[in-house]
Amino acid sequence: MNTIHTNALIIFARQPELGKVKTRLAATVGNAKALEIYIRLLTHTREVAIASNATVFIFLTDASKTIFWNSFNCEVQSGASLGEKMKNAFEIIFTKGFKKCVIIGSDCPELSTEIINTAFNDLNNQDAVIGGAKDGGYYLLGTKKLIPSLFKDKEWSTATVYEKTITDFKNQNLSYSILPVLNDLDEEKDIPGEWI
């Protein structure tokens, strides 16, 4: 089985709609600028994902599909919390027969194809892989099987998520690798200089 059928990359994303994306960012730069930046983030994420050694699945917050994701496998996020939505996404992917699953968001301008491919390569020898974000969350998580505990008992979108996930790895006796810490783009201060 070649890597494209072994590796699945999940992208969690929203439809690029005015007033519905990057709300923390929009509070200081306005809805129009926030939408413009989100489309840049989506475009970047799409480009690094297409070049990766994986089959790409887009999990959107709702079923309305835009041309932005036309060439991708599209699914709809399901669940009450972010953790439940991620757990359900992993379950769907493993049910499809993939051996390694990595999830990313669409908020990380520093994410590269090299980092995504490194995550899949690390899973050859490790049970899990994680890339921490500077805000205390993570921008990437990967496993070789569904591990429900990784998605429970977290205060999502807080500075404790990364450390609590590392604790889960240790409590489950999982081997894991750590990718470089990157910056998520959530607020005006996070915008790369060349994007302003």
pLDDT tens for each residue of 50-83: 999 999 999 998 877 667 787 789 999 999 999 9
- The CATH number covering residue 117 comes to 3.90.550.10
Residue 193 is assigned to a structural domain of this protein:
no
194 within a domain of the structure (yes/no): no
Total count of domains within the chain: 1
Residue 100 lies in a domain: yes
Q: How far apart are CA 100 and CA 62, in angstroms?
A: 25
In sequence order, which residues have a C-beta less than 8 Å from that of residue 10 and are 6 or more positions away? 57, 59, 89, 90, 93, 101, 102, 103, 104
75-97 pLDDT per residue, tens: 999 999 999 999 999 999 999 99
Residues 6 or more apart whose CB falls under 8 angstroms from that of 170 comprise: none
Distances (CA, A) of 42 to 6, 36, 189: 24, 10, 19
Q: Rounded to an integer, what distance in angstroms lies between the CA atom of residue 162 and that of residue 101? A: 18
| Structural domain includes residue 106 | yes
Q: For residue 68, is it within any domain?
A: yes
- Tokens coding 143: 């496993």
- Domain of 140 in residue numbering reads as 3-185
Confidence of residue 164 (pLDDT cuts 50, 70, 90): very high
Instruction: Give domain status of residue 90, yes or no.
Output: yes
Q: Which residues are within 8 A (CB) of 125 and not within 5 positions of it... i.e. 6 or more apart? A: 175
Whether 16 is in a domain gets the answer yes
Does the residue 64 lie in any domain? yes
